[in-house]
Chains A and B, each alone.
Chain A
Amino acid sequence: MISFENVTAIFPRGAGVKDINLRVNSGDFVFIIGPSGAGKSTILRLIYMDIFPDKGKVKVYRYDSSKIKEKEIPLLRRKIGMIFQDFRLLNDRNVYQNVALSLYVSHVKTREIKTRVYEVLNSVGLGHRVHYKPDELSGGEQQRVAIARALVKSPIVLLADEPTGNLDPKVSAELMILLKKINKEGTAIVMATHNYKLIDYIPDARIIQMDKGRIISIS
């Protein structure tokens, strides 16, 4: 489903990733761990084709980084769910509207949007918060809205970039339990984090350890 073949991507200021080979299959839960600047977020950006390799190629679903056209990138991103440390929710609209936005961009019909948004919000435990604005919610709730927004389009993979970075340990634990449940239901998850403790929540996850832009171990 996702593969990296000898991928090197260097930024003008020097950091990036070098000689990356990896594969993510459907249903996998993959941790990418390592210190800051190890290249974890770069791996995720290469997957959603925000940046492109200088060498090698990345394949996601049926899209190949060496062949993809600019107008196909939105189509790829509709297949990928993304959550971030800073949630990236829009504070000028409520929870329902934030989640529904994902479906509007995919040209889904209004009636279906309504059904799917309520379903996904109930599944992340936010059915009672639909009319709240993000800044009226706690950090954990905001991250769950972000997860709902990512899941509502039934992605093939959920990319999580330090999703617990702004959350306290208790809320982080709740979030990991939620992500485990989502993974058990069939969605592959690739999570970049520097918090090694999170691995304990998913014992059967694959772990890719990175440092200075290179993979130093895969288990």
Chain B
Amino acid sequence: MTVFFFLIKEGFKGLIRSQYAGLFTIFIISISLILIGLGFVISRDMVFAVQKLKSQFELEVFLKYAATDREIEQFYAMLDSMPEILHASYISPDSAAKRFKKEFGEDIYSILDYNPLPPSFTIELKPIYRNVVSVEGIIANIRKNPIVDEVKYRRNLLLTLEKYQRIIFVIATLVFLFFTFVSIVLVSNSIKMTIFARRELISTLKLIGATNTFVKVPFFIEGALEGIIGAIISCGFFYALTYVANNFFYHFVYYKIQLDLKFYVGLISLGFLFGLIGSLRTVGKFLGKIG
């Protein structure tokens, strides 16, 4: 227990003694976590917006006029049994005429003497099938039925949404990887400077019989502490950002930033990992060169 507390204390003292190198690392970690966090929030909310748009996506299946009630019923049953379909609703020619009147303000019978609107279905797909590849497969399947005349959907809208979703995902991943890499490299460099500044301590410890673990542990604690402090600063930034954005700017943009406890715990865990990994990769490499 004595050694355990001693090493913890040494880790804390080391952070205070490292001064500028430590402050610099904390600063870099907090900036990295802020950018990673912003990347996460932006991509999460954009993906959410894209998904919301996609949820309004529908397939329209127009049937041949000659389709009998029995054929339509059988087709409805087939749609119901398809695993990709969330919901299908039938629109009879009469309902279509009523909808026409509601949307355009004119009665179709007063224009044409007959109802040209065919029976149709609107189909809502399950979220995972709301992409061009799945949709094309589903349409091909539906078209096999001889009573189907035409299937329409907003292909271009779907393609555009998919493209943006991919771009957001790639950018968010790149931002995350880049700042993870930058943080770890900078923590490593800071610990390298610290090791160099404390070479006297390290060589003395080795001379008096300290094991490698005894020498290394305070550096790991120091790295992890730098990471956690950097993360706490970034948490403060996000707390303030959420407060200001949601209280002062909501009425202009109608957008609320929503961050839960998991987000803050995630940031602190990331900071801890950045600090620890940064010190692990350096201490192992450079400690052997001293003493």
Contact = CB atoms under 8 A, between A and B. Distances in A.
Given A90-B201, A92-B17, A105 B208 contact: yes
Nearest to A78: B209
Nearest to A109: B2
Interface stretch (A14-22, A56-64, A69-77, A167-175): A69-77
A58 to B, nearest CB: 17
B205 interface: yes
B200 interface: yes
Contacts of B208: 77-78, 82, 101-102, 105, 149, 153
A181 interface: no
B210 interface: yes
Nearest to B214: A105
A105 B2 contact: no
B211 A77 contact: no
A88 interface: yes
Nearest to A149: B208
Interface string B203-223: 111111111101000000000
Interface string A15-37: 00000000000000000000000
A57 B2 CA distance: 37
A48 B207 contact: yes
Contact of B209 (A75, A88, A110, A113): A75
Contacts of B211: 71, 74, 105
B164 interface: no
B196 interface: no
A84 B210 CA distance: 18
Interface string A91-116: 01000000001101111111001000
B6 interface: yes
A172 B208 CA distance: 24
A105 B200 contact: no
Contact of B204 (A90, A108, A109): A90
B112 interface: no
A77 B209 contact: yes
B207 A101 contact: no
22 contacts: A74-B206, A74-B211, A77-B207, A78-B208, A78-B209, A82-B207, A88-B204, A89-B204, A90-B200, A92-B17, A92-B201, A101-B204, A101-B205, A102-B209, A104-B2, A104-B3, A105-B205, A105-B208, A105-B211, A107-B2, A109-B2, A113-B2
Interface of A: 48, 71, 74-78, 82, 88-90, 92, 101-102, 104-110, 113, 149, 153
Given A82-B208, A92-B17, A105-B211, 13 more contacts: A74-B209, A74-B210, A74-B211, A88-B200, A88-B203, A88-B204, A101-B204, A101-B205, A104-B3, A105-B208, A105-B210, A108-B2, A153-B208
Counting from the closest, the 5 A-B pairs by CB-CB distance are: A78-B209, A77-B209, A105-B210, A74-B209, A74-B211
